[in-house]
Amino acid sequence: MSLIRFEDVSFSYEGSDKKAIQNISLKVDEGEFVGIVGGTGEGKTTLVRCLNGLIPNLIKGEFKGKVIVGGLDTRKTKVSEMAGTVGFVFQDPDDQIFALDVWDEITFAPENFGLSDEEVRGRVEAAAEMVGITHLLDKETNNLSKGQRQLVCVASVLALNPKVMVLDEPTASLDFNSTRKIYETLKKLNEAGKTIIVVEHKTNFLSENADRILFLDGGKLAYDLPPNKLFQDVKAIEKRGVEIPVPYLLSHKLKSAGKDANFSNLDDVLDYLVRGLTSD
């Protein structure tokens, strides 16, 4: 049985006649790494807000259909209860972090779930180790870099040990190295068994890590494909306002010039460029 099921889901925000998402049906199995892409305003954030019950329980509007996550019907489950199954990381860590130091930030959720001091400590230490921020546990949150604060947000969500981790454009304000670190962390969590769902505009690292990518267009699910199939149609994807990953874009341009090329990740591109620079 699938861990996540959307059954003909549509939603319009209160006061709007336009459907933000419409007639979405899909399934996600446990342990999958799923990306969500689409142009601005095409329904990506709306879709993931349905996963933890923010829609329809807290965000008002007209909701139709059904979303089931880990056997829980989001229409009938409190958002606070859904947090134990679906962890949510926002685009801007400054919208999520409120504690003055890292330890307090990560302990907040498990403490509020009524866990013992010993279990809370164990979860915080395990989450920090998994994310690679044990050296930051005694630091003040406002002294951290943007990338470090985002990793703290990931650890704070991970401390509740949810089955699903949802990240809404987690690298939007991060540089290349911080973005790489976020995706290295997500890959590690996925390999440990977590189901990962990422809304993203930066498609380079997403395409390297995702098992499949959902493409939203006009609030509808236009494509549900593995990256190597989705990004083959460069012109169609670009036309819809989505960034083409560099490996697929370079492959397309070289093939158009009559050269054999098939890159799937940034390392392949780098190797190709280095060979070109060093060849006689």
Residue 6 lies in a domain: yes
Q: Dump pLDDT digits (tens) for 168-201.
A: 999 988 999 999 999 999 999 999 999 999 999 9
Q: In the chain, which stretches have pLDDT less than 70?
A: 1, 274, 276-280
Do 23 and 73 have their domain in common?
yes
Residues 159/124, Cβ–Cβ less than 8 Å: yes
Residue 270 lies in a domain: yes
Map 257-272 to HEC letters: CCCCCCCCCHHHHHHH
Partners of 214 in the β-ladder:
36, 224
Please tell me the pTM assigned to this model: 0.91
Residue 253 lies in a domain: yes
Q: Dump pLDDT digits (tens) for 240-264.
A: 888 888 888 888 887 777 777 777 7
DSSP code at position 135: G
Burial of 278 (0-12, 13-18, 19+ CB in 10 A): exposed
Residue 75 lies in a domain: yes
Do 79 and 2 have their domain in common?
yes
Residue 94 lies in a domain: no
Do 168 and 229 have their domain in common?
yes
Do 207 and 68 have their domain in common?
yes
Outline where DSSP puts E strands in 2-118.
4-13, 21-28, 33-38, 61-69, 72-73, 86-89
Do 79 and 141 have their domain in common?
no
Do 6 and 130 have their domain in common?
no
What integer pLDDT is reported at residue 253 of this predicted model? 80
Radius of gyration of the chain from Cα atoms? 20
Do 148 and 167 have their domain in common?
no
**Count of structural domains within the chain:** 3
Residue 90 lies in a domain: no
Do 146 and 263 have their domain in common?
no
What integer pLDDT is reported at residue 276 of this predicted model? 65
Structural domain harbouring 269 = 245-280
Helix or strand or coil: residue 236? helix
What CATH code is carried by the domain that includes residue 26?
A: 3.40.50.300
Do 150 and 200 have their domain in common?
no
Do 139 and 257 have their domain in common?
no
Residue 216 lies in a domain: yes
What integer pLDDT is reported at residue 262 of this predicted model? 77
The helix or strand, by DSSP H or E, that contains position 47, with its residue range, turns out to be helix 44-49
Residue 91 lies in a domain: no
Do 74 and 3 have their domain in common?
yes
Do 63 and 198 have their domain in common?
yes
What is the C-alpha separation between 245 and 202, in angstroms, rounded? Answer: 8
- Non-local (6+) Cβ contacts of 82 within 8 A are 52, 53, 69, 72, 74
